[in-house]
Chains A and B, each alone.
Chain A
Amino acid sequence: MTTQPTLRVAGDTHVGKVRTTNEDSMIVDPQRGLYVVLDGMGGANAGDIASQTARDAIREFVTQRRLTMEPKALLEASIQYGSAAVFNAAQEVRERHGMGTTVVACLIVDAKRAIVAHVGDSRAYLLRHGRLQSLTRDHTIVEELVERGVLPPEEAERHPYKNVLSRNLGAKPETRVDVFELEVKPGDRLLLCSDGLYGYASAEAMQYLLGSGDPPESVARDLIDLALRGGGGDNITTIVLEAPQPPPSSSEVVRTSGANAWWQRRARFLQVAKERGITKNPICRALPPEEALDLVALSLFQAIFHDLEKSTGVNVWTFAQNIAGGWFERGGKWEALRGLMDILAMSARTVVDEVRAGDVQLGFLLDIAVSRALVVAELALGGLLAERLRQVDGDLIQLHTALQETIDIGGLEAAAGEASADVDISFTGDVPFTDEATIPFMRPDRVITNPGISAELLGAIEKTLTIARARTSPRAELVKQVLTSLQTIATDDSGNFASAVLAARELWGVRAVDDASIMQLFDALDSARIITASSVHQISVPDAVRAKVLAAISAAHQRLVGATTGLVLEAVAPYSERLKDAQTKTGELRDKVARAERKRAELERKFANTIDQSQPWEKRGATEW
């Protein structure tokens, strides 16, 4: 192997398993940056002479002119010179008539540029970012036919003339050379080879070997072995050039050296963690000390190691989630978890400081990586804490609401009791039950209006409603429910709205907010009113009591209707908002339509003015409408 300042290069050649002579030649000239593979052809040992003649001529030309010619022109001219040399040599000896050679050549200009030229079917490949691509197109009859579109590409492989060259060096004094400049990137690998390689080895295997990271001399040899294993039916020549690798990134240093340095200090990490009292932490206290160290400290150490290797934070995340999740589920306190994480973080920092004392650069990179791993652990803990906070918040709201309702209802009932004791207002039935459609209806500031119901009145109400239910059709379930509700409300001696609201909610049940559903309810309310009004005349009570019964049931009915209306308003409230929005939107759209109409009218007027009305239709011209 030879070394050029900017490149690592190695070349190798093999006669193969079938041929007796090696007709391939090559140039590996780091001093001039010249690398060439030639594959000779022609009977009676002429092939090797052709390739050697061309090789010597190309090298001589480049050596003599390299300081005076532009690189691209130099390489092309050197190949032309080689072709002329082979042609002339063939003319000198009869047996060598028709000999020729292929060539693929690379001239390194500087660290970033190379010139590649070729004639025939020797190839140049580029491996960049692990992917192999051919830089050259074979000069064969079949390829020419494919390029001209005469032959479909899929038929090229099985065409009988697939190996017949359309160009070579030596058939004529001059030949057409394909030449181009290649931008070389750090880590690129360039392969020059004869058809003895790619004819007996798959592109995937070649890519694998080139991308293996082995040194060029190993790769050049391994490629030949590959072709030999594939049959070795032809001479095989390979030249592998490798552009200098870019300096390793900090994450690569961490991945390799940092991870190793970390792993080597695991005993130290455990020792520091133990000294700092990890085994006494409440999370570890239940475990024997050694097990605690293994389960907790070593797990984090390993998690950081795995993350360093991959330069990510997934393992540390999992570690933190597992340990914190388990602890919280057992009802553990945050302080213990914080204490544990602090011990682990401090132990990690001690280890990093010790690495830094020996290797400043590595220690620095490790410090950053470990700090980031600890941030990842905090992120995982934060996620769990925040989720727990959210759950507790939800529970708190629920608990608080339940408690508040108890207090409200209790307060309301107490207020009702006080009012009934202090206020003596006879129940006349003309008290306005609903000042306005308020939501909710159950307002603690409502004045209690029913001071109490006599036993006689209570009995009369019950009788009326029993008769009413008896007169109701058995299928009119909703009407019967309304009658029961009326009885509950009318006989409720607390006199507030609670019974009406509760009854309304029960009637409402699960109900769709549409005409059919709501009207059914109001129809039932109406039917119940009519039935009770007629039923009240069928009970045997004095007229004064009958009047009171009628007033009480009527008042109850009003309350029930009011409460039901409130529920309807509640239910349709969101739709009302949407309706308002829709109305606003409709208004805007109407305005837009009106503006568009005005514009259209204006345009029509203009259009009418620009057309010569005196002309017949066919002569008025086409419009863009």
Chain B
Amino acid sequence: MSLARAYEALRPKILQRLLELRSTLDPSLGRLDEDTARAQIGAVLDHVGTFITSGDLGQHRAFLHTFLAMRAAEAQTPAQVLAMLVAIGDTASQVAQEENTDAEGAELTLMLTRVTAATARAINDLIADELERRLAQMQELQKGQPRT
């Protein structure tokens, strides 16, 4: 719980840094006005906080699934979404490393890095699932049994 509290305390600074860097993180975020970008990045940071508290990978996956779908609707490719989420995670752990030099800060940095790794892993699994579905669809179409 103490890590979650440390993260919550640091979140405004992480958000601020991300807003400053948003155009380099993701071109579509860069085009957004600050309030909209704040809402989008804030949603990711909110969820990172939830994940640190709960450690629930299933919930994390569900969030990422929705996030991927929403970004796809904005014409973002899965690779772009992955790169953006990793950039957000990296920035968060970098801020944690800079701001907290004590043992707890170190643990938070490590935790955020691991959350980023788990996020990247989950996103790849989701892309792979989608790929699998499409390949199955293609096989059916080739057999002449189109899905409705």
Q: Which residues of A contact B (CB under 8 A)?
A: 250, 334, 338, 345, 364, 367-368, 371-372, 374-375, 378-379, 381-383, 385-390, 392-393, 395-396, 399-400, 403
Contact = CB atoms under 8 A, between A and B. Distances in A.
B146 interface: yes
B117 A371 contact: yes
Interface string B25-49: 0000000000000000000000000
B97 interface: yes
Interface in B46-80: 77-79
A381 B123 CA distance: 10
Interface string B85-127: 0100110010001000000001001100110110011011101
Contact of B93 (A368, A381, A383): A368
Nearest to A407: B146
A383 B138 contact: no
B113 A334 contact: no
Nearest to B137: A396
The A interface, classified by DSSP as helix, strand, loop or mixed, is helix
20 contacts: A334-B125, A367-B113, A368-B93, A368-B113, A374-B117, A375-B89, A375-B90, A375-B116, A375-B117, A378-B120, A378-B124, A379-B82, A382-B120, A383-B82, A385-B131, A386-B78, A389-B78, A389-B134, A392-B135, A399-B138
Contact of A250 (B97, B117, B131, B135): B97
> 4 closest Cβ contacts across the A-B interface?
A378-B120, A386-B79, A334-B128, A382-B82
Contacts of A338: 124-125, 128
Contacts of A250: 97
B123 A382 contact: yes
A396 B138 contact: yes
Given A338-B124, A378-B117, A379-B120, 10 more contacts: A374-B117, A378-B82, A378-B124, A382-B79, A383-B82, A389-B127, A389-B131, A395-B138, A400-B146, A403-B146
Contacts of B110: 364, 367-368, 371
A364 B82 contact: no
Interface of B: 77-79, 82-83, 86, 89-90, 93, 97, 106, 109-110, 113-114, 116-117, 120-121, 123-125, 127-128, 130-132, 134-135, 137-138, 141-142, 144, 146
B128 A392 contact: no
Contacts of A393: 134
Given A334-B132, A375-B116, A392 B138 contact: yes
A388 B135 CA distance: 10
B134 A396 contact: yes
Contacts of B114: 371
Contacts of A334: 125, 128, 131-132
Contacts of A372: 90, 113
Most buried by A among B89, B97, B110, B131: B131
B116 A396 contact: no
Contact of B131 (A367, A374, A383, A392): A392
Most buried by A among B125, B127, B130, B142: B127
A270 B113 CA distance: 24
Nearest to A367: B110
Contacts of B127: 382, 385-386, 389
Most buried by A among B89, B97, B116, B121: B121
Nearest to B78: A386
Nearest to B97: A250
Contacts of A381: 124
B82 to A, nearest CB: 4
Contacts of B106: 364
A383 B124 CA distance: 9
Contacts of B79: 382-383, 385-387
A356 to B, nearest CB: 10
Contacts of A375: 86, 89-90, 113, 116-117, 120
Contact of A368 (B77, B109, B125): B109
Given A385-B78, A389-B78, A396 B141 contact: yes
Contacts of B121: 378
Nearest to B142: A399
A376 to B, nearest CB: 9
A371 B121 CA distance: 12
A87 to B, nearest CB: 57
Nearest to B89: A375
A345 B116 CA distance: 14
A46 B103 CA distance: 64
A371 B86 CA distance: 12
Contacts of A395: 138
A390 B123 CA distance: 16
A531 B146 CA distance: 50
A401 B83 CA distance: 32
A375 B117 CA distance: 5
B96 to A, nearest CB: 10
Nearest to B113: A371
Contact of A382 (B78, B132, B137, B142): B78
Contacts of A382: 78-79, 82-83, 120, 123-124, 127
A379 B78 CA distance: 11
B124 to A, nearest CB: 5
A378 B120 CA distance: 6
A399 B141 contact: yes
Contacts of B141: 396, 399-400, 403
B146 A386 contact: no
A379 B86 contact: yes
Contacts of A379: 82-83, 86, 120
Contact of A390 (B77, B109, B144): B77
A498 to B, nearest CB: 23
A163 to B, nearest CB: 53
Contacts of B93: 368
Contact of B128 (A368, A385, A390, A403): A385
Nearest to B116: A375
Contacts of B144: 403
B97 A386 contact: no
Contacts of A368: 93, 109-110, 113
A429 B102 CA distance: 92
A372 B94 CA distance: 12
A368 B110 CA distance: 6
B131 A388 contact: yes
